[in-house]
């Protein structure tokens, strides 16, 4: 868990916002899409949502 929080910080992501979003969506995420919830992929997907 510590390494994920530090990774979020290294990717300029608020760890609390990231973790809250991941916990809210992890139950609805298929196993094949779990890598999308990692900090670097999460940041990219949020950037796409904001751009739309």
**Other beta carbons less than 10 A from residue 16's beta carbon:** 10
Q: Is 33 exposed, middle or buried (0-12, 13-18, 19+ CB in 10 A)?
A: exposed
Reply yes or no on whether the pLDDT at 5 is more than 80. Answer: yes
| Whole-prediction pTM | 0.78
pLDDT for 47? 76
Under a CB-based contact definition with an 8 Å cutoff, are residues 31 and 38 in contact?
A: no
- Contact partners, residue 34, CB within 8 Å, separation at least 6: 26
pLDDT for 3? 92
Give the Cα separation of 19 and 50 in Å (integer): 19
The whole-chain average pLDDT of the chain stands at 90
pLDDT for 1? 85
Per-residue pLDDT reduced to its tens digit, 16-36: 999 999 999 999 999 999 999
């Amino acid at each position: 868990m510590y390494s994920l929080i530090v990774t979020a910080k290294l990717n300029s992501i608020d760890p609390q916002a990231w973790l809250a979003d991941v916990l809210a969506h992890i139950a609805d995420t298929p196993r094949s899409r779990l890598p999308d919830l990692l900090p670097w992929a999460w940041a990219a997907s949020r950037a796409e949502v904001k751009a739309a």
